[in-house]
Structure 1
Amino acid sequence: MDYISIMLIAIGLAMDSFAVCVGKGMCRQRFYLWRSLKIAAVFGLFQGLMPFVGYVLGISFASWMQLFDHWFAFFILSVIGIKMIYESFISKPHEVCVGCDCQEDIVVDWRKVVVLAFATSIDAMATGLVFVSYPGTISTATITIGLVTLFFAFSGMFIGVRFGRRLRLNIEMLGGIILIAIGMKILFQHLLHGA
Structure 2
Amino acid sequence: MNLSATLILAFGMSMDAFAASIGKGAVLHNPPLREALRTGLIFGVIEAITPLVGWSLGLMASRYLLAWDHWVAFTLLGCLGMRMVAGGLRRQTETPPRVGQHSLRVLATTAFATSLDAMAVGVGLAFLEVNILHTAIIIGLATMIMATLGMLLGRFIGPWLGKKAEVIGGVILIGIGCNILYAHFGQAALPGL
1:48 aligns with 2:52: no
> Could you say if the C-alpha distance between residues 165 and 189 of structure 1 is closer, same or farther in structure 2, counting changes exceeding 3 Å?
closer
1:130 aligns with 2:90: no
Aligned-pair CA distance for 1:2: 9.6
For residues 47-86 of structure 1, the aligned pairs below 5 Å read 47-86=43-82
CA distance in 1, matches of 2:62, 2:23: 34
For residues 5-24 of structure 1, the aligned pairs below 5 Å read 10-24=14-28
The SS at the match of 2:67 is: helix
Contact 1:51 1:142 in 2 (8 A): yes
Q: Which residue of 1 aligns with 2:139?
A: 141
Contact 1:18 1:156 in 2 (8 A): yes
One-letter code of the match for 1:129?
Answer: M
Query: Cα RMSD between the aligned structures?
Result: 3.6
In structure 2, list runs of 5 or more residues that go unmatched.
Answer: none
In structure 1, list runs of 5 or more residues that go unmatched.
Answer: 29-34, 102-111
Contact 2:42 2:111 in 1 (8 A): yes
Q: What TM-score, normalized by structure 1, do the two folds share?
A: 0.66
Q: 1 or 2, which has the higher helix percentage?
A: 2
For residues 79-118 of structure 1, the aligned pairs below 5 Å read 79-92=75-88, 93=91, 95-97=95-97, 100=99, 115=104, 117-118=107-108
Deviation digits for residues 154-173 of structure 1 (CA, Å, limit 9, x no counterpart): 0111222x424365551221
> Could you say if the C-alpha distance between residues 47 and 180 of structure 1 is closer, same or farther in structure 2, counting changes exceeding 3 Å?
same
The SS at the match of 2:179 is: helix
One-letter code of the match for 2:42?
Answer: F
Q: How many residues align?
A: 174
Q: What TM-score, normalized by structure 2, do the two folds share?
A: 0.66
Contact 1:48 1:146 in 2 (8 A): yes
Aligned-pair CA distance for 1:130: 2.2
Identity %: 11
Match of 1:173 among 171, 174, 185: 171
Deviation digits for residues 60-79 of structure 1 (CA, Å, limit 9, x no counterpart): 43234422454233223322
Contact 2:21 2:151 in 1 (8 A): yes
The SS at the match of 1:134 is: helix
CA distance in 2, matches of 1:183, 1:83: 14
Deviation digits for residues 77-112 of structure 1 (CA, Å, limit 9, x no counterpart): 3223322442243224373127x45xxxxxxxxxx5
